[in-house]
């Protein structure tokens, strides 16, 4: 007789504390400050949830969840010289692009 356990522990964004308080470190869009919650899943079904004391940033566009203690997007951007931004969606794009890869508008 064999028994297979299919389950795991996952971190997810919980309750939103403040909206649009930072910028995503991956895509540059607005990020929310959220409570982190841990979820125990059994056969891919959430069984138990509990909140942790940590507060994280969560990007609604790309789904990235990262700790509040990490370097913010604005601080990284200040260290890069010659940054090109899209006039339509205000995201950072590479200087050799002629069109924005996020919204498609001409740069």
pLDDT digits (tens, 9 = 90+) for 42-72: 888 899 998 888 888 999 899 888 887 665 5
- For residues 56 and 101, state if they share a domain: no
- For residues 58 and 77, state if they share a domain: no
Burial 80-96 (b: 16+ CB within 10 A, else e): eeeeeebeeeebbbeee
- What does the pLDDT read at residue 34? 92
Domain that holds residue 92: 71-107
- For residues 92 and 82, state if they share a domain: yes
pLDDT digits (tens, 9 = 90+) for 75-103: 454 445 556 778 787 788 887 888 888 88
| Residues paired with residue 13 on neighbouring β-strands, in sequence order | 36
- For residues 65 and 75, state if they share a domain: no
Domain total in the chain: 2
Entry pTM:
0.55
Quick one: which of 25, 10, 20 has its CA closest to 70? 25
């Amino acid at each position: 007789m064999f028994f297979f356990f299919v389950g795991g522990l996952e971190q997810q964004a919980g309750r939103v504390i403040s909206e649009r308080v930072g910028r995503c470190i991956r895509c540059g869009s607005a990020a929310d400050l959220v409570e982190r919650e841990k979820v125990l899943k059994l056969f891919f079904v959430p069984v138990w949830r509990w909140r942790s004391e940590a507060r994280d940033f969560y990007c609604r566009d790309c789904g990235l969840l990262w700790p509040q203690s990490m370097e913010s997007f604005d601080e990284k951007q200040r260290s890069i010289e010659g940054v090109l931004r899209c006039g339509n969606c205000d995201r950072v794009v590479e200087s050799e692009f002629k069109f924005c890869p996020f919204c498609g508008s001409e740069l």
